[in-house]
């Protein structure tokens, strides 16, 4: 039973570029959430997808967008990258409201 | 005021010690509470859910105090392998997880 998988593991980009991160949820899960974790901080909620729609969003600018596909996998897109976007990006999946979320290994994004 | 606050530590304790962490939250409407463990440069892993009546899982005990809006985690008989960052999670609304900044624990031989 595969857990949450994310790709790529590491990514290096330069300012102004665009990036797409991918996530496959744990088998049986239909909800995907994305988080940004800066060094020394707790994960910050970006948004959550359910039934291919953004269900809730955190305090992130419109440069951060996402998508969920019919097979429940998801993408996180970030446009016009800034140095401050350097972080660990975590995807988490769950099945039902209030149920614990399970995290992938994350994508470490570095902006030069 | 942050929505979820934790003492960042670090807590340095000897093997076998009992250690407790607290986490306070500001939204009285929060419904679900969890403790996650995160090892250095790894993903958070669910340690335990926190229920109103309190719950125990081996050496770990979690408590919820809705009146004072805090949750706690107690670790008994600390092991070297317990060294990690412990993240408190509170739900905001139905879907949104709010994480604390985490409390670092180092168990010393």
> Is residue A1 predicted with pLDDT exceeding 70?
no
Chain B environment of A92 (Cβ under 8 Å): 97
Q: How many A×B Cβ pairs under 8 Å?
A: 54
Chain B environment of A103 (Cβ under 8 Å): 43-45
Q: Does A102 contact B46 at a Cβ distance shorter than 8 Å? A: yes
Residue with tokens 């005990």: B61
> Is residue A8 predicted with pLDDT exceeding 80?
yes
Taking the C-alpha atoms of residue A4 and residue B45, their distance in angstroms, rounded to an integer, is: 12
Min Cα distance A79 → chain B (Å) is: 23
> Is residue A63 predicted with pLDDT exceeding 70?
yes
Q: What is the mean pLDDT of residues A91-104?
A: 87
Question: Which of A88-97, B82-91, B93-102 has the highest mean predicted lDDT (pLDDT)?
Answer: B82-91
Q: Does B101 contact A42 at a Cβ distance shorter than 8 Å? A: yes
Provide Rg for chain A, Cα atoms: 13
**Tokens describing residue B25:** 């939250």
Chain A environment of B42 (Cβ under 8 Å): 105
- Out of B45, B94, B99, the one facing A43 most closely (by C-beta) is B99
Q: Does B94 contact A90 at a Cβ distance shorter than 8 Å? A: no
Q: Which pLDDT score is estimated for A82?
A: 97
Q: What is the mean pLDDT of residues B58-62?
A: 97
**Tokens describing residue B61:** 């005990």
Q: Which pLDDT score is estimated for A89?
A: 98
Q: Which pLDDT score is estimated for A97?
A: 66
- Percent of chain A beyond pLDDT 70? 97
> Is residue A45 predicted with pLDDT exceeding 90?
yes
Q: Does residue A104 have a cis peptide bond before it, meaning omega lies within 30 degrees of 0? A: no
Q: Which pLDDT score is estimated for A111?
A: 97
Q: pLDDT band for position B52 (50/70/90)? A: confident
Q: Which pLDDT score is estimated for A66?
A: 97
Chain A environment of B102 (Cβ under 8 Å): 41-42
On whether any CB of chain B is under 8 Å from the CB of A110, the answer is no
Nearest to B107 by CA among B73, B77, B87: B77
Min Cα distance A15 → chain B (Å) is: 24
Angstrom CA distances, A22 to A8, A16, A51, stand at 7, 20, 17
């Amino acid at each position: 039973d595969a857990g949450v998988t994310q790709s790529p593991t590491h990514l290096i980009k330069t300012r102004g570029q665009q990036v797409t991160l991918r996530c496959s949820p744990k088998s049986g899960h239909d909800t995907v959430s994305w988080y940004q974790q800066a060094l020394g901080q707790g994960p910050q909620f970006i948004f959550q997808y359910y039934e291919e729609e953004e269900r809730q969003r955190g305090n992130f600018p419109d440069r951060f967008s996402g998508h969920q596909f019919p097979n429940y996998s998801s993408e996180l897109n970030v446009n016009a990258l800034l140095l401050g976007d350097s972080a660990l990006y975590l995807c988490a999946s769950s099945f039902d409201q209030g149920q614990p979320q399970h995290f992938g290994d994350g994508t470490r994004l570095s902006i030069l | 005021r942050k929505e979820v606050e934790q003492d960042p530590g670090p807590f340095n304790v000897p093997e076998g010690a009992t250690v407790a962490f607290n986490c306070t939250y500001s939204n009285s409407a929060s419904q679900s509470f969890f403790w996650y463990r995160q090892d250095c440069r790894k993903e958070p892993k669910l340690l335990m859910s926190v229920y109103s009546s309190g719950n125990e899982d081996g050496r770990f005990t979690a408590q919820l105090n809705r009146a004072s809006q805090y949750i706690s985690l107690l670790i008994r008989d600390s092991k070297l392998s317990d060294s990690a960052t412990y993240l408190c999670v509170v739900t905001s609304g139905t879907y949104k997880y709010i994480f604390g900044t985490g409390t670092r624990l180092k168990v010393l031989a």
